[in-house]
């Protein structure tokens, strides 16, 4: 859009690197959309349109390290996005791995010098940016176009309804809010496990919800213990809860709305897992 002067991927300052491909633009746009969810310093890694590692915190190098280590295998060849100035120490860490793009509002001059060691790495300066604003998403289908509003609903603890005997702790609620911000940027069916302001395991793009749960558990391994699991739509059966019974996951957040909600809630009560209903789905297609 020639008339759009907003700070986005297409208007970014390209400091270095090869020309952006179609996939590069789509993944970078997805990474930018996800990182814009957060106010505190945040790093988002995206691979094939899914956030494979996200972390927030005060120290940007620590934030980047946690996000990358959340799923370092999937991060290979991915996109790294920051919502604050990329520093030299972070740039130095990034040059030790292979990624396609690094984007941020701006970069320290020393960071840009460090990135020059990897001439093919695309480095994009977006400029200052804030939260996403409502817009229309347009998709092509044979015979025409379909249009929908972008999901920019701000979910707060006021939307939460605890439906189990066990109540989530304050920390669990904070983790649930973090998890939901990330989850809505993952391809449905998706399930995400997180703890300590860091994603742990993502199961995205699965055709059954319990498969998404198993993938998230496999990705997270032992790190899922003490975490919160989020599902982008309701659980149609209790099998997903049965799958996490021995994982150490403390709480589950999901929209609710299944005809078997009571069966699923009963499974959580059986295993002393807290469950929160949001009343809102976040399907992404």
Judge whether 103 lies within some domain: yes
205 and 97: one domain?
Answer: no
Does 197 score more than 80 pLDDT? yes
103 and 169: one domain?
Answer: no
Q: Which of these ranges, 1-5, 75-79, 89-93, 206-210, has the smallest mean pLDDT?
A: 1-5
Does 194 score more than 70 pLDDT? yes
Judge whether 188 lies within some domain: yes
18 and 113: one domain?
Answer: yes
Mean pLDDT of the chain: 95
Burial class (CB in 10 A: 0-12, 13-18, 19+), 137: exposed
Judge whether 111 lies within some domain: yes
Judge whether 145 lies within some domain: no
pLDDT above 70 coverage of the chain, percent = 99
31 and 110: one domain?
Answer: yes
109 and 174: one domain?
Answer: no
Kindly report the CATH number assigned to the domain that includes residue 98.
3.40.140.20
Angle at the Cα of 183 (from 181 to 185), degrees rounded to 5?
90
114 and 165: one domain?
Answer: no
pLDDT at residue 85, rounded to an integer: 98
The dihedral formed by the CA atoms of 63, 64, 65 and 70, expressed in degrees to the nearest 10: 90
Average of per-residue pLDDT across 135-159: 90
Structure tokens at 94: 């990034």
Higher pLDDT, 262 or 135: 262
22 and 115: one domain?
Answer: yes
Gyration radius of the chain over CA positions: 19
pLDDT at residue 133, rounded to an integer: 87
172 and 80: one domain?
Answer: no
78 and 188: one domain?
Answer: no
Reduce the DSSP state of residue 129 to 3 states and report it. coil
Boundary of a domain, candidates 78, 106, 125: 125
Boundary of a domain, candidates 104, 125, 146: 125
Containing domain of residue 106, as a range?
Answer: 13-125
pLDDT at residue 48, rounded to an integer: 93
109 and 176: one domain?
Answer: no
Average of per-residue pLDDT across 136-140: 90
pLDDT at residue 285, rounded to an integer: 67
Boundary of a domain, candidates 69, 101, 125: 125
Judge whether 141 lies within some domain: no
| Domain count across the chain | 2
- Kindly report the pTM of this predicted structure: 0.95
Does 284 score more than 80 pLDDT? no
Average of per-residue pLDDT across 71-82: 96
230 and 176: one domain?
Answer: yes
Does 13 score more than 90 pLDDT? yes
Judge whether 206 lies within some domain: yes
Judge whether 140 lies within some domain: no
The dihedrals phi and psi of 132, each to the nearest 5 degrees, come to -65, 150
Return all residues near 186 (Cβ < 8 A) that are at least 6 apart.
50, 51, 192, 202, 204, 205, 232, 284
Short-list 117, 116, 145, 151, CA closest to 131: 151
Average of per-residue pLDDT across 224-247: 97
Average of per-residue pLDDT across 255-262: 96
169 and 86: one domain?
Answer: no
Confidence of residue 97 (pLDDT cuts 50, 70, 90): very high
Judge whether 185 lies within some domain: yes
């Amino acid at each position: 859009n020639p008339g759009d002067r907003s700070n986005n991927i297409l208007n970014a300052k390209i400091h270095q690197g090869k020309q952006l491909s179609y996939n590069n633009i789509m993944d970078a746009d997805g990474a930018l959309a996800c990182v814009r969810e957060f106010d505190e310093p945040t790093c988002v890694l995206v691979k094939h349109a899914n956030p494979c590692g996200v972390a927030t915190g005060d120290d940007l190098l620590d934030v980047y390290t946690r996000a990358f280590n959340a799923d370092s295998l999937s991060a290979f060849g991915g996109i790294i996005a920051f919502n604050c100035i990329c520093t030299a120490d972070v740039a130095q860490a990034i040059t030790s791995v292979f990624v396609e793009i690094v984007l941020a509002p701006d970069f320290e001059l020393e960071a840009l010098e460090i990135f020059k060691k990897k001439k093919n790495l695309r480095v994009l300066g977006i400029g200052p940016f804030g939260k996403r604003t409502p817009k229309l998403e347009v998709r092509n289908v044979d015979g025409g176009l379909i249009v929908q509003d972008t999901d920019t609903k701000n979910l707060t603890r006021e939307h939460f309804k605890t439906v189990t005997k066990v109540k989530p702790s304050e920390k669990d609620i904070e983790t649930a809010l973090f998890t939901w911000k990330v989850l809505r940027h993952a391809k449905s069916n998706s399930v995400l496990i997180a703890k300590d302001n860091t994603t742990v395991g993502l199961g995205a793009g699965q055709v059954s919800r319990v498969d998404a749960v198993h993938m998230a558990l496999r990705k997270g391994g032992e790190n899922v213990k003490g975490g919160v699991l989020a599902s982008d739509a309701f659980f149609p059966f209790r099998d997903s809860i049965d799958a996490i019974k021995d994982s150490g996951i403390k709480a589950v957040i999901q929209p609710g709305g299944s005809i078997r909600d009571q069966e699923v809630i009963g499974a959580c009560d059986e295993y002393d897992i807290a469950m929160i209903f949001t009343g809102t789905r976040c399907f992404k297609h």
